[in-house]
Amino acid sequence: MELLQRPPTIKLPPEWCTGDAFADVVHRGEDPSRLRATMVRFAPGARTAWHSHGLGQTLCIVEGVALIQSRGGEILEAHPGDVVHTPPGEEHWHGAAPDRFMDHLGLWETDDVEWLEHVTEAEYAGPRVSSRTRPRATRDA
C-alpha cells in the first residue's frame, strides 16, 4: 500500500472552460493502468467547451446541479448521486447550473481528449430534462 501525494489544485484553462472551474487529480494511473480520476468544481454558470474522450467518460455528480449535454441531445439536469456516461467519441459538455456550484468526479482512460468550440449562451440556456424524471439505463455490474 502507498499513501499518494496529490498535486495542487489547478484552474482549468480558458480554452477548455467558460467561467471558473478547478480540478484536483485524484488518480492518474501509470502503465499498464490508464485510469484517470479528477474531482472538478465548477462555479455557477461555468461549463466545459464541447469535447470528446477517445474511450468515453463517466461523471459522478457529488454536489450541486450539473448540466450535461451530448451534441444534438437534450440538456440533462443531474443531481448528487447521479452517474452519467458518455461513450467513446461522443461530443458533449458539462458544467454547473447558473445558480449553483457543482462538483463531479470525472473518470476516464487516457489523455485522448479532443477539445472543440465553446458552448454558446443559447446552447447553455436550452431546455432541460431532470434526472429525477428521466428513465435510467441499467448495466450489469
Report the CATH number that the domain containing residue 51 is assigned in CATH.
2.60.120.10
* Residue positions counted in the chain: 141
Angstrom distance (rounded) from CA 80 to CA 64: 7
Q: What local confidence, expressed as pLDDT, does residue 30 receive?
A: 82
- Is residue 19 within 8 Å of residue 124, measured between CB atoms? no
Angstrom distance (rounded) from CA 3 to CA 97: 35
In a domain, 128, yes or no: no
In a domain, 41, yes or no: yes
Angstrom distance (rounded) from CA 9 to CA 40: 9
pLDDT surpasses 80 at 140: no
Number of C-beta neighbours around residue 2 at 10 A: 4
Query: What mean pLDDT is predicted for residues 39-45?
Result: 98
In a domain, 99, yes or no: yes
The structural domain count of the chain equals 1
Q: What local confidence, expressed as pLDDT, does residue 135 receive?
A: 67
Query: What mean pLDDT is predicted for residues 89-112?
Result: 96
Q: How many helices (H) and strands (E) does the chain have?
A: 1, 14
In a domain, 138, yes or no: no
pLDDT confidence bin for 141, thresholds 50/70/90: low
In a domain, 31, yes or no: yes
In a domain, 10, yes or no: no
In a domain, 117, yes or no: no
The model's pTM: 0.90
Angstrom distance (rounded) from CA 45 to CA 12: 14
Query: Cell numbers of 136, please?
Result: 435510467
Domain span including residue 76? 21-110
- Is residue 21 within 8 Å of residue 12, measured between CB atoms? yes
Strands 51-53, 47-48: pairing is unpaired
In a domain, 127, yes or no: no
